[in-house]
Amino acid sequence: MWLLVALVVQASLMHYTIVRGVEPSLVLVAVVWYAMRADAGRATLYGFFAGLGEDLIAFDAGGAWTFSTAIAAFLASLPTRRFFEDSIPLFMLVTACVTLVRALVFWSVLTIEGYPPGLGTLHFHEALLQAVLNAALAGAVMLVSRRWERRGLSRRRR
């Protein structure tokens, strides 16, 4: 359900948050959140469907989002074997790193499909900014969810 919400919000509202031509990805934040709590197989499948949803929305990516988001989800699921998934700094760090890997895989797939590779520097700078924006969004999402969770717990105690 959260993936569907993230896809709808990404397609309809996130374009209002563009900074210097770069849009943060709520879908990727949702994928990382799920992947850090799941095993690698389930995380990859979740990332596959998230990327498929992005490809359906984008219409012209040729499967690049599907492939790159599935790989990102797989990689995001690996650190949780050693660390706590509720750590805000870890969640932000994993989100930033996975954003960079996802961008690399995405543009590699598009280059294989015939997209001109001469814009690499521009895309690298955009990926760096998106990593920062996604990490900030991940921190904000986790803080809001903790606040929401605490509010729900305090209501149950009454």
Residue 14 lies in a domain: no
Give dist(CA 79, CA 75) in Å, integer.
Answer: 8
Residue 17 lies in a domain: no
Instruction: Identify which has the larger pLDDT, 14 or 42.
Output: 42
Give dist(CA 14, CA 156) in Å, integer.
Answer: 33
Residue 19 lies in a domain: no
Contacts of 135 (CB under 8 A, 6+ apart): 92, 93, 95, 96, 99
Contacts of 108 (CB under 8 A, 6+ apart): none
Give dist(CA 134, CA 93) in Å, integer.
Answer: 10
Contacts of 65 (CB under 8 A, 6+ apart): 51, 52, 54, 55, 58, 106
Residue 99 lies in a domain: yes
Q: What is the mean pLDDT of the chain?
A: 87
User: What are the tens digits of pLDDT across the range 117-156?
Assistant: 677 777 889 999 999 999 999 999 999 988 887 776 556 6
In this prediction, residues 95-109 reach a mean pLDDT of: 93
- Give me the amino acid identity at 101: V
| φ/ψ of residue 86, rounded to 5 | -90, 5
pLDDT of residue 49: 96
pLDDT of residue 48: 96
What does the block give as tokens for 134?
């996604």
Percent of the chain exceeding pLDDT 70 equals 89
User: What are the tens digits of pLDDT across the range 30-51?
Assistant: 999 999 988 999 999 999 999 9
Residue 116 lies in a domain: yes
Asked whether residue 28 carries a pLDDT value surpassing 70, the answer given is yes
- Which three-class secondary structure state does DSSP give residue 83? coil
Q: Which domain holds residue 102?
A: 24-157
Distance set, CA 127 to CA 21, 38, 88, 122, 124 (Å): 11, 26, 21, 9, 5
Residue 122 lies in a domain: yes
Residue 70 lies in a domain: yes
Asked whether residue 60 carries a pLDDT value surpassing 70, the answer given is yes
Residue 11 lies in a domain: no
How many structural domains comprise the chain?
A: 1
